[in-house]
Amino acid sequence: MKKEAILKLLSGIIALLFFYAAVSKLVDFEKSKHEMLNQVFSQDIALLLVWLVPVIELGIVGLLLVNAARLKGFYAALILLCVFSIYIAVTMTGAFGRIPCSCGGILNHMGYWTHLIFNLLFIGFAMLGIALQSGWITNRVVNFFKRKEVFHT
């Protein structure tokens, strides 16, 4: 598989995740607002985040789908996924004294450990996208696994 095809696949998968997350928050806005108000931060911050998070997620989708901005999209996705993952991990430690409600959509059926692993998978996708887009991984490395040569000693 060529480097560009892998980049399109990675950016598409991550874009689908963020598009789904943003749309599910906006479609059931009242539920999203209620869940955000149940988080550990103040009501003012929650009311800001209820709009800001889906807008940022849609912005990341846009960046990932434009070739010239794809690297910025991978970095933005990586940052947001890391922030979400840290929040989940801290919540799991009991540092807040309570466990706020879970995420919406299909993700609300996941436990915190499953959600954390899911996020780590997508963090890996974003990191791979950054490495490929930045040229840290070249076509030679990508094509290495397609070799059919047998090495003799």
Q: Hey, CA dihedral for 133, 136, 142, 143, is it positive or negative?
A: positive
Q: Rounded to an integer, what distance in angstroms lies between the CA atom of residue 27 and that of residue 4? A: 33
Nearest to 48 by CA among 33, 58, 62: 33
Domain ranges of the chain: 3-139
Tens of pLDDT, residue by residue over 110-121, are 778 888 999 999
**pLDDT score at 58:** 98
Q: Rounded to an integer, what distance in angstroms lies between the CA atom of residue 13 and that of residue 22? A: 14
How far, CA to CA in Å, does 19 sit from each of 39, 109, 118, 145?
22, 19, 16, 32
> With contact defined as beta carbons under 8 Å apart, do 49 and 36 qualify?
yes
Tens of pLDDT, residue by residue over 56-70, are 999 999 999 999 999
What are the φ/ψ torsions at residue 22 (nearest 5 degrees)? Answer: -65, -45
Which segments of 1-153 does DSSP mark as H helices, in order? 3-27, 29-37, 43-65, 70-93, 112-134, 139-144
How far, CA to CA in Å, does 65 sit from each of 34, 73, 91, 136?
31, 8, 32, 21
- Burial pattern 30-54, b for ≥16 Cβ within 10 A else e, equals eebbebbbebeeeeeebeebbeebb
User: Does the pLDDT value for residue 152 go beyond 70?
Assistant: no
Confidence of residue 81 (pLDDT cuts 50, 70, 90): very high
> What does pLDDT average to over the chain?
87
User: Does the pLDDT value for residue 92 go beyond 90?
Assistant: no
